[in-house]
Amino acid sequence: MTNNQHNRLDNDIVKFKETMLTQYGIEIIVFQKLHNEGEYRPTLQQIHKACITVMHMLYPELQNINKLSELNRTKDLVMFRKIYCHIGHSMRYTCHAVGKYIKRDHSSVVHSRNSVDDMLYIKDKSYMNAFDKINKLINTYVGIIPNNIQKQT
């Protein structure tokens, strides 16, 4: 398939999901097939939703924040924004695509990714707890993420 065909297919999937939600009140989660490898991965929207859900569970005082793109430097929000960047990139989305979704540039995504790597390496409790809960939520509601998805270089 060409990129144009993939874009049309993605648009058809979005329209179908919206139709199911508006007409029947059913929210559908659709697995997206990687165009080349035949593997599955969650969408950036699903990763974002998982991050927001876990943020609200762990930090009820942030209930009023519904987007990671908010211009807010609260320590806990920044942590979830960084984790979103790390997970999005590890699912083989480009830094540009991950950053665009949260209104940041690619260098912010690279910095966030490296920062989360460092925090997980030193076993920071807040990062490890949030990271584990987000991954469990993604695995539960999106599907089992294959371990062989390689990071881009």
Whether 126 shows a pLDDT value over 80: the answer reads yes
Query: Which residue range(s) make up the domain with 86?
Result: 43-141
Same domain, 49 and 10: no
Same domain, 82 and 135: yes
Categorize the per-residue pLDDT at 121 as very low, low, confident or very high, splitting at 50, 70 and 90: very high
Same domain, 24 and 63: no
Whether 141 shows a pLDDT value over 50: the answer reads yes
| 91-101 residue pLDDT tens | 889 999 999 99
Same domain, 64 and 122: yes
| 48-88 residue pLDDT tens | 999 999 999 999 999 999 999 998 899 999 999 999 999 99
| Residue 148 domain-assigned (yes or no) | no
| Residue 96 domain-assigned (yes or no) | yes
| 6-23 residue pLDDT tens | 667 777 887 888 888 889
CATH of the domain at 72: 1.10.1750.10
Query: What is the CB neighbour count within 10 angstroms for residue 9?
Result: 13
SS3 66: coil
As a whole number of angstroms, the distance between CA 86 and CA 131 comes to 10
Same domain, 64 and 133: yes
Same domain, 8 and 53: no
pLDDT of residue 77: 94
Average per-residue pLDDT for the chain: 83
C-beta separation of 32 from 38 below 8 A: no
Same domain, 66 and 26: no
Please list, in sequence order, all residues whose beta carbon lies within 8 angstroms of the beta carbon of residue 28, skipping any fewer than 6 positions away: 16, 17, 20, 21
pLDDT of residue 151: 41
Residue 87, both tokens: 């997970």
SS3 43: coil
pLDDT of residue 32: 55
Same domain, 20 and 59: no
Question: Which of 5, 38, 141 lies closest to 13, judged by CA?
Answer: 5
